[in-house]
Amino acid sequence: MDPTTFKSLLYNTSADGKVAYITLNRPKQHNAIDQHMPFEIRAAVRLANANPNVHCIVLKGNGRGFCGGYDLDIYAANAERGQTAGSQDLSQGYEPFHEYASMKECTDCYSELFHSYKPTIAQVHGAAVAGGSDIALCCDLVVMADDARIGYPPSRVWGCPTTAMWSYRIGPEKAKRMLFTGDLISGSEAAAMGLVLKAVPQAQLEETVELLTERIKSVPVNQLWMQKQVINSSIEGMLCSTQRLATIFDGITRNSPEGIDFQQLAQRVGFKAAVSARDEPGRSEEYRKKWKSVL
C-alpha cells in the first residue's frame, strides 16, 4: 500500500532509515479510530517489515494524545437512529458471527504490531483509551508520559478488549482490577504496575524513545527478529485462543441486556453523555485520591 494514500495516519522513516514512524493522524478527533485506521496500521507495519533498512517501529499520535478509542462522532450518528455501531436489531435474534467477523478484522490489524518482525514501540502522550489501549498494548514496548492516561472504560458496559493483552502484561489479578473497574490510570501508575516499560515527564518522552531506538537499531535485524520470536512464542498459542474469546465477548457485551440499556440511554441523551454516565465513577478525583491512599 502506498503510504501517501493513507487517510488516518502518516508513515515515514528516520534520516538513517533505521526507524519507521507510524503516526496516528486525526488530531482534531484525538486520533480516534475510524474505518481506515486499523487497516492502515496493518499496512504500515508491513511496509516497515518489508524494508530491509528498518530495525524498529515507533507508533505515536499527532496532536494532544495517542488515541481516544473509536470515533464516537462517527458511530454516534447511528445511535441517534437506534442503530448504535456494534449493536444489532435483536428482533430476529442475535447473530454472533456478524459481530465476530467485523471485530476480528480490527483485532488482527492491531495484532500486526505484536506479530511484527521488527520491534514495535508505542510512544504514548495524552491518552490511550479503550480501543487506543488495545493498539498501544499490542506493541512490544510502551513508553508513556507520566501524566498520560491508559485504560479500558468500556469494560464497565459495552466492550471487551479484543486484543486481550492485559493479563499477559500485568498478570491476572492486576488485569482483573483494571477490567473490573474500567479505571484510567496515569503513565506513572502504569509503569509502577508493570503495564508499560517506562513513564517520564512529557517533555522527555520523545528523547526517551529516541534513546531506546538508538540502542535497538545498533542490533542486526536478524538478531532482533530471533529474540522477538523466542519471547512471542511463549504466549502466542494462548493469546490466539484468548483473543478469539475476547472478540466473541466484545460482540455480546453490546447486545446483552445492559448493553441494550446503554444503547437506549445513548438514544435518549446522546452517545457521549451515555459514555460519561457509564465511566464517571472511575473518573472522579475523589475516587482516585481515595484509591491511591490505600495503595
Residues 6+ apart with CB under 8 A from 106: 33, 38, 131, 162
Q: Which region among 90-104, 180-194, 224-238 has the lowest average model confidence (pLDDT)?
A: 90-104
Domain 3-293 has CATH 2.60.40.10: no
- Does the pLDDT at position 82 exceed 50? no
Which of 216 and 283 is assigned the larger pLDDT? 216
pLDDT band at residue 76 under the 50/70/90 scheme: low
pLDDT band at residue 264 under the 50/70/90 scheme: confident
> Residue 173's pLDDT is what?
97
Task: Let me know: does 183 contact 151? Beta carbons within 8 Å.
Answer: yes
What are the residue boundaries of the structural domains of the chain, listed by start?
Answer: 3-293
High-pLDDT (> 90) share of the chain, %: 74
Joined together, the cell numbers standing for residue 197 give 516499560
- Report the C-alpha gap between 84 and 153 in whole angstroms: 17
φ/ψ region of 62 (left if φ > 0, alpha if ψ in -120 to 50, else beta) reads beta
pLDDT band at residue 292 under the 50/70/90 scheme: low
Torsional sign, CA 224, 59, 133, 248: negative
DSSP line for 29-93: GTT-B-SSHHHHHHHHHHHHHH-TT--EEEEEESTT-SB-SB-HHHHHHHHTTT--TT---GGG-
pTM (2 d.p.): 0.93
Average pLDDT, the chain: 91
pLDDT band at residue 231 under the 50/70/90 scheme: very high
Q: Which region among 111-120, 202-211, 249-258 has the lowest average model confidence (pLDDT)?
A: 249-258
CA distances from 235 to 115, 119, 193, 230, 247 (A): 11, 16, 20, 10, 18
Amino acid identity, position 95: E
- Does the pLDDT at position 270 exceed 60? yes
User: pLDDT tens for residues 40-74?
Assistant: 999 999 999 999 999 999 999 999 999 999 997 77
Q: Which residues of 272-284 are buried (b: 16+ CB within 10 A; e: fewer)?
A: eebbeebbeebee
Nearest CA to 42 out of 103, 99, 102, 106 is that of 106
Which of 32 and 291 is assigned the larger pLDDT? 32
